[in-house]
Structure 1
């Protein structure tokens, strides 16, 4: 009975958010409460929900300050020298331009926000693509491939949801994935080289005046990002060193990611914007993006708390295991790595990570496979997810570049699938899954 109730709850939850009858934020809180009441757990729901929310509180705080930190870095102009350098180096060589697109989009995607990544990358480089007559779909493809890998950071969305739904922290889920992401980024650079070489063969190297193109690109960039009043060019080296120290500290794992991002944000805000009014303005600018991500993670605590407290997740796992051939059990992480690609393409990350992943993780436990391992595997399909029409930032990218969604998907899907394959192989070799 619990198993049927659980699967029905998942089905209703996914239907409501995929049909846009309810927002994910509302559905993830109200649907499990309703089904908990139906299951006869009315008097026990309060403690269950409290425990669930407390379990993911640290993750939510970490995501909040990570978004604010990288927002400050973008506002202060940390990436401006990189953009200028790339524009200066690539000049009229299509190969260099495409590789430069990959490097820029990877770097900007550190903040985990696809909207920001696409705006800055396209604004900086689209004038060059137009000037040389290069294929704009290549620009969109490379930016998407970069975002597909970088979206696996804990503040990018997918990892946050996986951590919340499986009640894991970043050291268990994300840190082992860093070298896997490294292989994914190498693959993106390789794809950029291949596509760029093809464009160089088609167009040749064109001699252009750097200053004109750079001016055009910078004017578009200025119009689509923050006011130049908030740029801090004299603090670029300080911000760069602070970010490097932060990244190194994350890898060393000598302190929780939550505390590290809180401290780094406080230092970055104080040094870059010592005036209190400027600090308030910068926080206000990025609060919308932060609230959208953090609120869904906190709300997920109700969902996971009820699923665990009522034992629905256990009953559903037992049912699922009964349908999985025993010989397939040890290969579940690899199956999940590939299955997460179509799952997150045809349904939202919310539906997959909160509705499907906990069931798979519980089923995997029967084969001695940890929830952390299943969680890591579930992230590998993100390069396909970013191609989904369910991703709002993808529509922004299409609008910025001026191409057709179907054409972009047909062109990019094979390269995105290659990213998934490379990262899956790397994860197996490295023992991550």
Structure 2
């Protein structure tokens, strides 16, 4: 019963947001509440929801101040010189922009933290996409692909969980899938090339009189570059200029502060929310000494802050209800029980192929500590090496799948910063993300990584 309600919750949620019947916020709150009541959790539902909110609260605080910080830096013109250099480097070519996005994402993702990867990469590339008129879904999609394939690294969350659950080290779980991961990286670069070429054709058709090769001549003020909202959503306030460009000392101060912030983020010297809060407070005083200007900046970014943060807290309610009602545990047991004995020999391939789509259903803890150990035990009884199941799982479960899953808060950081809708993002990049898993699965099978 609980398993059926759990799967129904996920199915109704995905249907609602992908068909745009309701907003993501409404779906994240009301759908789990409805099914939680059906599961008989009425008296405890409030506590479950609060527990879920408490778990995502640090992420919510971090994204609020990250949006404010990078929004401030965009407003004062910190990124304008970099954007102009990038435009000259890529010569206005969307293909080169897309490839640069993929390479930057995979480089930043080496730290193993999805939230940090999205914050740094999207903040760096979004102004360039806006300047050239490229689709933001291409940005969110390529970043999702790059971060997903790199999340297989041994210090990434899914692989760490797989090693812990199976009591195995990285030489057993990760090393055999290195060739598959390399193939996944090449696939991401291929997809970035294809999406960039498609954007190039679209932009050429939309503006046939304007040469993309001359896009580097576009002025810095041609496009608004505010994080998490459309270019025209919030009007530029009176007297707000690129003050960092007008005062060289302020430009270098902002540059130093931002570099120091990124280094601290990568080294995790302090909790991420605290780093952003402190950095934003320093930046706000330095760039806007007058109280009136500080308030004006906060108000100008209120829309994007509210939109993103409310979705993250709503996501906490969603996962809190699924976990608190034990629907997740019941779904895990049901997922294992449906595998027929005749297909047991194909278990590693089944796990690998289904791993990415199941990221939309199971949280990483639920899958790696609930579903995967049972599958590994079943493999062991069939004479297979249980660690093969771990290798199969990391080819998609919360690796290629995590940047699309509504069960991870970092997904909302990605779509919030990119300014795209979750349903649109999922529809746009799901086939390519699933393709990444299929490519890696084929290579892993061919190289013997999935053989017991």
TM above 0.5 = yes
Distance 1:424 1:59, change over 3 A: farther
* 2:240 counterpart (229, 249, 265): 229
Distance 1:356 1:73, change over 3 A: same
Residues in 1 aligned to 2:254 and 2:444: alpha-carbon distance in whole angstroms:
32
Distance 1:423 1:4, change over 3 A: closer
Residues in 2 aligned to 1:427 and 1:59: alpha-carbon distance in whole angstroms:
34
Distance 1:14 1:49, change over 3 A: same
Q: TM-score, normalised by structure 2?
A: 0.59
- Residue 335 of structure 1 corresponds to 353
- Residue 54 of structure 2 corresponds to 54
Residue 374, structure 1, aligned to residue 367, structure 2: no
* 1:245 counterpart (241, 260, 268): 260
Distance 1:25 1:424, change over 3 A: farther
* 2:289 counterpart (274, 299, 302): 274
Runs of at least 5 residues in structure 2 that lack an aligned partner in the other structure? 106-116, 162-180, 202-209, 226-230, 377-389, 406-410
- Report the 3-state secondary structure (helix = DSSP H, G, I; strand = E; otherwise coil) of the residue aligned with 2:270: coil
TM-fit CA distance, 1:26: 1.9
Residues in 1 aligned to 2:188 and 2:39: alpha-carbon distance in whole angstroms:
49
- Report the 3-state secondary structure (helix = DSSP H, G, I; strand = E; otherwise coil) of the residue aligned with 1:229: coil
- Report the 3-state secondary structure (helix = DSSP H, G, I; strand = E; otherwise coil) of the residue aligned with 1:6: helix
- Report the 3-state secondary structure (helix = DSSP H, G, I; strand = E; otherwise coil) of the residue aligned with 2:22: coil
Distance 1:7 1:276, change over 3 A: same
1:206-217 residue pairs with structure 2 within 5 A? 216-217=218-219
* 1:147 counterpart (137, 140, 147): 140
TM-fit CA distance, 1:122: 4.9
TM-fit CA distance, 1:3: 1.5
1:353-392 residue pairs with structure 2 within 5 A? 353=360, 355=361, 357=363, 360=367, 362-367=370-375, 374-379=397-402
Distance 1:253 1:337, change over 3 A: farther
The answer as to whether partners of 1:123 and 1:217 remain within 8 angstroms in 2 is no
- Residue 264 of structure 1 corresponds to 279
Distance 1:363 1:381, change over 3 A: same
TM-fit CA distance, 1:10: 2.6
The answer as to whether partners of 2:146 and 2:185 remain within 8 angstroms in 1 is no
Residues in 2 aligned to 1:393 and 1:191: alpha-carbon distance in whole angstroms:
21
Q: Deviations over 1:332-381 (max 9, x none)?
A: 775356547xxxxxxxxxxx74x555675542353465999933342367
* 2:306 counterpart (279, 288, 291): 291
- Report the 3-state secondary structure (helix = DSSP H, G, I; strand = E; otherwise coil) of the residue aligned with 1:99: helix
In angstroms, what is the RMSD of aligned CA positions?
5.4
Q: Deviations over 1:250-271 (max 9, x none)?
A: 2212322121122222222222
- Residue 80 of structure 2 corresponds to 80
- Residue 403 of structure 1 corresponds to none
Q: Deviations over 1:301-334 (max 9, x none)?
A: 2222221122111111100112245556556775
Comparing 53-62 and 413-422, the one that deviates more: 413-422
The answer as to whether partners of 1:48 and 1:309 remain within 8 angstroms in 2 is yes
Q: How many residues align?
A: 356
- Residue 322 of structure 2 corresponds to 307
TM-fit CA distance, 1:230: 3.6
Runs of at least 5 residues in structure 1 that lack an aligned partner in the other structure? 127-138, 163-169, 200-207, 341-351, 398-408
Distance 1:279 1:422, change over 3 A: farther
Q: Deviations over 1:251-295 (max 9, x none)?
A: 212322121122222222222222222222222222212221211
The answer as to whether partners of 1:318 and 1:363 remain within 8 angstroms in 2 is yes
Residues in 2 aligned to 1:45 and 1:308: alpha-carbon distance in whole angstroms:
11
- Residue 343 of structure 1 corresponds to none
Residues in 2 aligned to 1:424 and 1:380: alpha-carbon distance in whole angstroms:
19
- Residue 96 of structure 2 corresponds to 99
TM-fit CA distance, 1:113: 9.9
- Residue 220 of structure 1 corresponds to 222
